[in-house]
């Protein structure tokens, strides 16, 4: 247990160091813009859901409507992508090695996002992940929670393959930690208040969760 904690603390330290050094980098600027699109997509989905729909969407929709432009920008400025597309799931990407997108039989994933703009955001998410995996390998692991194995596999894809993946499998995209409503609520309320300490604590909580996922994915890959 001690070794596990130390390993996760090392990963969190790497996350924090990356964001501290790269605050004004192109990758981080693009991340903030993409997170903004993802948050707007979540808000659209919340409006489209019935009152008894997903708890995360109900909570997120209620808070999102109260945020002004500055608060929404703070919410989007998390040092990690607020959606996931299976970037820590090696099995989802393994069949790409030396194969065409249409080859093989793949697991079916239920769609979280059903509103029209979901496909466009999914394309941006897939392209952003591919770009990071190709040009900023460490950033891909830290900003997306993508283990090294997946990073290498995705970076080996061609641009047409990535476009086709986004078209064929937009349902891979879903909110990060969809069952951890408290984490999302903490982050959105901190963004609403603008309190530096609260916002930093919320972001660090997310980094710790992401670090744990990276470690678990690395163990599975072994």
**Residue 42 falls within a domain, yes or no?**
yes
> For residue 115, what pLDDT is reported?
94
pLDDT grade for 7, boundaries at 50, 70 and 90: very low
Token representation of residue 93: 């990407």
- 45-59 b/e (C-beta count within 10 Å ≥ 16 → b): bbeeeeeeebebbbb
Domain count, the chain: 1
Which residues make Cβ contacts (< 8 Å) with residue 22, sequence separation at least 6?
28, 139
Q: Which domain does 212 fall in, by range?
A: 26-221
> For residue 205, what pLDDT is reported?
93
Whether residue 19 contacts residue 79, with contact meaning beta carbons closer than 8 Å, is answered with: yes
> For residue 153, what pLDDT is reported?
86
**Residue 155 falls within a domain, yes or no?**
yes
Q: How far is the CA of 1 from the CAs of 136, 148, 210, in angstroms? A: 31, 23, 18
**Residue 19 falls within a domain, yes or no?**
no
Coil, strand or helix at 105: coil
Kindly tell me the number of DSSP H helices and DSSP E strands found in the chain: 11, 2
In the chain, the percentage of residues whose pLDDT exceeds 90 is 45
> For residue 89, what pLDDT is reported?
81
- Single out the residue of 84, 95, 106 nearest to residue 214, CA to CA: 84
Check pLDDT > 60 for residue 184.
Answer: yes
Residues 129-155, mean pLDDT to the nearest whole number? 87
Q: How confident is the model over 63-96, as pLDDT tens digits?
A: 998 999 999 999 999 999 999 999 988 777 766 5
Backbone dihedral angles phi then psi of residue 173, each to the nearest 5 degrees: -80, 130
C-alpha 205/C-alpha 189 separation (Å) is: 14
Check pLDDT > 70 for residue 190.
Answer: yes
Whether residue 188 contacts residue 63, with contact meaning beta carbons closer than 8 Å, is answered with: yes
Greater pLDDT, 120 or 61 = 120
Greater pLDDT, 59 or 82 = 82
> For residue 200, what pLDDT is reported?
94
**Residue 201 falls within a domain, yes or no?**
yes
Q: Which pTM does this prediction carry?
A: 0.83
Token representation of residue 90: 């090696």
Residues 119-127, mean pLDDT to the nearest whole number? 96
**Residue 186 falls within a domain, yes or no?**
yes
DSSP structure string for 9-44: HHHHHHHHHHHHH-TTSHHHHHHHHHHHHHHHHHHH
Whether residue 34 contacts residue 125, with contact meaning beta carbons closer than 8 Å, is answered with: yes
Over the chain, what is the mean pLDDT?
Answer: 82
Return the DSSP state at 84: E
Sole residue written with tokens 């247990």: 1
Check pLDDT > 80 for residue 24.
Answer: no
**Residue 18 falls within a domain, yes or no?**
no
**Residue 7 falls within a domain, yes or no?**
no
> For residue 22, what pLDDT is reported?
47
Residues 144-159, mean pLDDT to the nearest whole number? 87
**Residue 76 falls within a domain, yes or no?**
yes
């Amino acid at each position: 247990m001690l070794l596990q904690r130390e390993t996760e603390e090392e990963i969190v330290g790497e996350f924090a160091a990356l964001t501290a050094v790269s605050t004004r980098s192109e990758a981080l600027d693009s991340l903030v813009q993409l997170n903004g699109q993802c948050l707007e997509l979540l808000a659209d989905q919340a409006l489209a859901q019935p009152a008894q729909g997903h708890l995360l969407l109900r909570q997120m929709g209620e808070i999102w409507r109260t945020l002004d432009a500055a608060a929404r920008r703070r919410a989007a400025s998390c040092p990690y992508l607020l959606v996931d597309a299976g970037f820590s799931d090696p099995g989802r990407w393994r069949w790409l090695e030396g194969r065409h997108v249409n080859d093989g039989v793949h697991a079916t994933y239920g769609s979280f996002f059903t509103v029209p703009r979901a496909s466009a955001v999914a394309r941006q998410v897939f392209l952003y992940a591919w770009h990071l995996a190709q040009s900023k390998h460490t950033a891909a692991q830290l900003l997306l929670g993508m283990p090294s194995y997946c990073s290498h596999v995705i970076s080996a894809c061609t641009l047409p393959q990535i476009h086709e993946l986004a078209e064929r499998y937009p349902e891979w995209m879903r909110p990060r930690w969809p069952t951890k409503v408290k984490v999302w609520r903490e982050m959105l309320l901190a963004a609403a208040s603008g309190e530096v300490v609260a916002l930093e604590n919320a972001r660090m909580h997310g980094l710790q969760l992401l670090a744990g996922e990276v470690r678990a994915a690395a163990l599975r890959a072994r």
